[in-house]
């Protein structure tokens, strides 16, 4: 593997206090990079074109790796009134690297997400979504991480149900301590999320539904998102929880923080084959 990725990953690992952590915890550490963009698909489900957000921020080896993968992708054709049509979606691509030795790493495209470009009236829209404040105890301890929220929105635009699907930490500690910190971040995000307001869909196939579900990632970080983009971040993935009201298998950690991502509905691409490259 190129020296550039080895250097970048070693720098990411250095941000975690691993030496004092149990080996079982150290073995869980991965480095991730979330790449966002758009993808266009033709009527047959082939890739017609794509672009990466802020491509200049991505290392060249990342762009090359993704281009090689995307070249072989096939999607389930999108149907409108029973006829295949071309479509365009937003996409999130989660790259993960794990150490295989002292100076070697394996890199993989772990998760993908595809969502229709948001359109007023067709999808749930944010009306009032003030971000949660950083928990004082987490900030004082230098704890950062991302909480992946799953929310059910009622017809009145209020949050009817909420849960944390997953919490990934950017700090290594004992299993007990990490469980506690995941709880701190999740509870903090949920308290604020239950106060959020949304605009329910009014058009399309979802307009008559009684409730709608969305995913909202909430990042607790000491660095702005713009500065983190295109950089590897060491993290320890948390366990995935399942909501009784959602049956899809979308990976929440392939979603960029701060966005509102509708669950289900129509217009989302379904990747059939990602064995390219």
pLDDT at site 18? 47
> Distance of CA 226 to CAs 129, 163, 256, 276, Å?
20, 27, 11, 29
- Out of 62-71, 113-122, 144-153, pick the least confident: 113-122
Which residues are CB-contacts of 26 (< 8 A; sequence separation ≥ 6)? 18, 172
Residues contacting 226, CB < 8 A, separation 6+:
none
pLDDT > 80? residue 122: no
Query: Does residue 15 carry a pLDDT above 80?
Result: no
Say how many domains are in the chain.
Answer: 1
Partners of 212 in beta bridges: 153
Task: Answer for the pair 37, 63: CB distance below 8 angstroms, yes or no.
Answer: no
Range of the domain at 54: 3-273
Query: Which residues 6+ apart lie within 8 Å of 177 measured at CB?
Result: none
pLDDT digits (tens, 9 = 90+) for 184-237: 999 999 999 999 999 988 765 555 567 889 999 999 998 887 788 888 888 888
Provide the pLDDT for residue 80.
Answer: 83
Residue 258: count other Cβ atoms within 10 Å of its Cβ: 13
Residue 103 has pLDDT above 70, yes or no: no
Write the DSSP assignment of 249-263 as a string of letters.
Answer: ---GGGS-TT--EE-
Between CA 112 and CA 255 the distance in angstroms is: 8
Write out pLDDT tens, residues 224-242: 877 888 888 888 889 999 8
pLDDT attached to residue 276: 46
Beta strand 30-41 with 233-235 is antiparallel
């Amino acid at each position: 593997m190129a020296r550039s990725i080895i250097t970048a990953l070693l720098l990411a690992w250095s941000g975690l206090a691993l030496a004092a952590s149990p080996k079982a915890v150290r073995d869980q550490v991965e480095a991730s990079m979330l790449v966002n963009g758009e993808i266009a698909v033709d009527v047959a489900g082939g890739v017609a074109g794509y672009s990466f957000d802020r491509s200049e921020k991505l290392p060249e080896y990342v762009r090359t790796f993704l281009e090689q993968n995307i070249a072989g992708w096939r999607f389930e054709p999108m149907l409108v009134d029973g006829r295949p049509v071309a479509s365009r979606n937003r996409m999130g691509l989660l790259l993960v690297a794990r150490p295989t030795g002292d100076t070697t790493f394996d890199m993989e495209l772990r998760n993908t997400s595809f969502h229709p470009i948001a359109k007023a009236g067709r999808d749930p829209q944010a009306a009032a979504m003030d971000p949660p404040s950083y928990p004082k105890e987490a900030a004082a301890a230098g704890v950062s991480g991302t909480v992946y929220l799953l929310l059910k929105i009622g017809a009145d635009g209020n949050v009817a149900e909420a849960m944390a699907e997953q919490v990934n930490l950017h700090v290594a500690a004992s299993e007990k301590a990490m469980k506690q910190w995941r709880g701190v971040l999740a509870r903090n995000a949920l308290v604020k999320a239950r106060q959020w307001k949304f605009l329910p869909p009014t058009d399309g196939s979802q307009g008559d539904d009684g409730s709608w579900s969305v995913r909202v990632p909430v990042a607790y970080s000491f660095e702005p998102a713009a500065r983190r983009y295109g950089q590897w971040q060491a993290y320890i993935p948390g366990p995935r929880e399942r909501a009784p009201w959602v049956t899809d298998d979308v990976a929440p950690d392939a979603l960029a923080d701060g966005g509102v991502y509708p669950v289900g509905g129509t217009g989302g691409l379904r990747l059939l084959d990602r064995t390219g490259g």
